[in-house]
């Protein structure tokens, strides 16, 4: 089911990625998909998290600063893939209901949790670390804003200053 959804996200318009299409491609009955994931959005966000974890690994560069800079560069690249663009669109189009808000929160709690190894290593080295969710926001908000909203250039200087800002004083 994951593989089918991922292929569809990569190849089709988001509007064409339906539970029926995923069911047909994977050979799994739609009822089973609904039983396991609840809604199409939950399934797609689950697939996006898995893909992002592969595209944005938390490699050990030897310092918190280096790890975060690397994470940011990988995140930036993933924003230009079809899965990255699909993720942004799914999040934006979640309904403005309590359920939509819960899906957003859950997605970002898991995105932040995927970053935890970077912070755990830093603590092990005796470095001071910021709050994980605050750091994710400081690092990623301006990137998303430039990529999807303002269209301003994403420069190395921006990446460097975002990492500085995310580190504790």
Please tell me whether residue 132 binds a copy of itself under the rule CB under 8 A: no
Residue number, 77 or 101, with CB nearest to a copy of itself: 101
Please tell me whether residue 88 binds a copy of itself under the rule CB under 8 A: yes
d(C-alpha 48, C-alpha 152), whole Å: 25
Closest distance between a copy of itself and the C-beta of residue 103, in Å? 8
Evaluated on CA atoms 76, 80, 83, 84, the torsion sign reads positive
CB 20 within 8 A of CB 1: no
Please tell me whether residue 28 binds a copy of itself under the rule CB under 8 A: no
Candidates 33-41, 61-69, 100-108, 119-127: pick the segment binding a copy of itself (CB under 8 A): 100-108
Please tell me whether residue 113 binds a copy of itself under the rule CB under 8 A: no
d(C-alpha 119, C-alpha 136), whole Å: 12
d(C-alpha 116, C-alpha 134), whole Å: 13
Closest distance between a copy of itself and the C-beta of residue 16, in Å? 14
Please tell me whether residue 97 binds a copy of itself under the rule CB under 8 A: no
Helix/strand/coil for 61? coil
Residue 75: closest CA among 143, 7, 121, 133: 143
d(C-alpha 151, C-alpha 79), whole Å: 13
CB 42 within 8 A of CB 22: no
Closest distance between a copy of itself and the C-beta of residue 62, in Å? 29
Site string for a copy of itself, 137-156 (x = CB under 8 A): xx-xxx-xxx-xxxxx----
Residue number, 34 or 108, with CB nearest to a copy of itself: 108
List residues near a copy of itself by CB under 8 A: 85, 88-89, 91-93, 96, 100-105, 107-108, 133, 137-138, 140-142, 144-146, 148-152, 165
């Amino acid at each position: 089911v994951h593989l089918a959804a991922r292929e569809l996200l990569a190849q089709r318009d988001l509007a064409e990625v339906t539970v029926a299409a995923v069911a047909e491609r994977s050979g799994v009955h739609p009822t089973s998909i609904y039983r396991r994931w609840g809604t199409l959005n939950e399934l797609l966000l689950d697939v996006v998290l898995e893909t992002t974890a592969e595209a944005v690994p938390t490699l050990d560069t030897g310092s918190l600063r280096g790890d975060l800079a690397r994470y940011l560069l990988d995140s930036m690249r993933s924003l230009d893939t079809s899965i990255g663009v699909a993720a942004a669109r799914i999040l934006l189009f979640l309904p403005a209901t309590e359920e939509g808000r819960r899906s957003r929160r859950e997605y970002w709690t898991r995105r932040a949790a995927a970053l935890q190894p970077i912070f755990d290593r830093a603590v092990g080295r005796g470095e001071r670390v910021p709050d994980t969710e605050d750091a994710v926001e400081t690092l990623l908000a301006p990137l998303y804003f430039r990529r999807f909203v303002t269209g301003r250039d994403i420069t190395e200087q921006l990446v460097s200053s975002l990492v500085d800002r995310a580190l504790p004083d």
